[in-house]
């Protein structure tokens, strides 16, 4: 048993080395597959962050009448935060609104002067509401349009932003769906290309497999070295793809960051180093050894 196993491993390495060109070509294809899959993982991370960043920018504000009591506003804030759809309801008092406004316009002396001229704070207190899912703003807005609240609420910003929000929701949805479909299609293509490459490599060994059967080799003894070869392909392609991907990520990270400031690809890559590397290896090894297994199986029927 042990003898057979060590021979299988020996022949796996031997075939791998002796068929140098075939091995190189096969590794190149698996490398491309893994590279594409790695790219898809990163693409999905970037897309997710981008989508989240867009979603984060969507919010609605409720402005309160200038005579509305702060207690009532805080009570409403509490009840809003109690809603499962609401992620955050931030209270911005009239004073805070004014300081923020002044800070924003500090380079605009006319506006600052105009406010000082006015003598009183013209801004309204508001609640800035963020939902977990932008689709829920309509419901939240409906909740706020309740009769009992009409005495304190001046206006809800949803009405004026409704079109923009709905359009953003559609874009986000399309991006999510598109990402999934794209990932799926590219992954399938990559897997099929690899499978076919390995199948062709083993097709060239069709006669040898038949001869081994006739000499009395058991199926496992014939199959074993091909699977070892497949594992070697997977390991080498995985390491290679990772080794090339790492500097590439470092190179493109600043460009991605300029589009989506929330993401630091290099940090993400560094933080998930082991996870990404093991994905590559596990996927590479599984893909090539299963392909080998299936491909050899066809020729074992002698």
Partner 1 sequence: MNASNMITFQNITKTYNKHSTALENVSFKINPKEFVSIVGRSGSGKSTIVKLITAEEKPTNGRIIFDSYEVNKLRFSQLPKYRRLIGTIFQDFRLLNGKTVFENIAFALEVEGRPQKEINEFVPQILNLVGLDNKMQSFPYELSGGEKQRVAIARAMINQPEVIVADEPTGNLDPFNTWEIIKLLMKLNEMGSIIILATHNKEIINTLGHRVITLNNGKIIRDEEHGRFILTN
Q: Interface residues with partner 1 (CB under 8 A)?
A: 1, 3-4, 7, 15, 18-19, 205, 207-208, 211-219, 221, 302
How many other CB atoms are found less than 10 A from the CB of residue 149?
17
Between 216 and 247, CB nearer to partner 1 = 216
**What span, in angstroms and rounded, lies between the C-alpha atoms of 185 and 193?**
12
User: Least separation, in Å, of the C-beta of 27 and partner 1?
Assistant: 18
User: Least separation, in Å, of the C-beta of 207 and partner 1?
Assistant: 7
**What span, in angstroms and rounded, lies between the C-alpha atoms of 190 and 174?**
24
How far from 117 is each of 97, 109, 122, 143, CA to CA, in Å? 18, 12, 11, 38
Strand partners, 156: 62
Residue 171 DSSP class: H
Q: What strands lie across the sheet with 153-156, from one edge to the other? A: 86-92, 126-131, 60-64, 153-156
User: Least separation, in Å, of the C-beta of 232 and partner 1?
Assistant: 16
User: Least separation, in Å, of the C-beta of 7 and partner 1?
Assistant: 6
**What span, in angstroms and rounded, lies between the C-alpha atoms of 30 and 28?**
6
How far from 258 is each of 48, 142, 237, 252, CA to CA, in Å? 16, 37, 31, 10
Between 274 and 301, CB nearer to partner 1 = 301
Return the SS3 of 1: coil
User: Least separation, in Å, of the C-beta of 11 and partner 1?
Assistant: 9
User: Least separation, in Å, of the C-beta of 208 and partner 1?
Assistant: 5
How many other CB atoms are found less than 10 A from the CB of residue 225?
23
Between 12 and 284, CB nearer to partner 1 = 12
Between 118 and 214, CB nearer to partner 1 = 214
Return the SS3 of 156: strand
Between 7 and 48, CB nearer to partner 1 = 7
Between 34 and 209, CB nearer to partner 1 = 209
């Amino acid at each position: 048993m042990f003898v057979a196993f060590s021979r299988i491993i020996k022949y796996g390495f031997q075939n791998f080395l002796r068929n140098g060109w075939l091995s190189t070509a096969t590794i190149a294809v698996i490398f491309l597959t893994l590279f594409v899959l790695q790219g898809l993982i990163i693409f999905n991370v970037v897309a997710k962050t981008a989508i989240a960043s867009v979603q984060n920018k969507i919010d609605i504000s409720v402005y309160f009448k200038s005579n509305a009591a702060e207690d009532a506003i805080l009570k409403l804030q509490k009840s809003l935060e109690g809603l499962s759809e609401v992620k955050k309801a931030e209270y911005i008092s009239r004073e805070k609104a004014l300081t923020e406004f002044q800070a924003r316009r500090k380079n605009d002396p006319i506006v600052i002067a105009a406010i000082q001229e006015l003598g009183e704070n013209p801004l309204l207190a508001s609640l800035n509401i963020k939902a977990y899912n932008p689709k829920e703003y309509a419901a939240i807005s409906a909740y706020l349009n309740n009769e009992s609240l009409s005495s304190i609420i001046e206006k809800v910003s949803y009405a004026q932003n409704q079109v923009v929000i709905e359009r953003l929701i559609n874009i986000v949805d399309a991006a999510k769906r598109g990402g999934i479909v794209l990932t799926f299609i590219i992954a399938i293509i990559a897997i099929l290309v690899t499978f076919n490459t390995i199948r062709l490599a083993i097709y060239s060994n069709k006669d040898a497999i038949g001869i081994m059967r006739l000499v009395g080799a058991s199926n496992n003894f014939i199959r074993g070295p091909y699977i070892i070869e497949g594992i070697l392909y997977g390991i080498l392609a995985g390491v290679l793809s990772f080794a090339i991907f790492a500097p590439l990520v470092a190179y493109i990270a600043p460009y991605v960051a300029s589009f989506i400031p929330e993401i630091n690809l290099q940090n993400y890559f560094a933080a998930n180093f082991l996870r990404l590397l093991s994905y590559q290896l596990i996927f590479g090894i599984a893909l090539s050894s299963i392909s080998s297994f299936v491909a050899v199986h066809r020729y074992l029927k002698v």
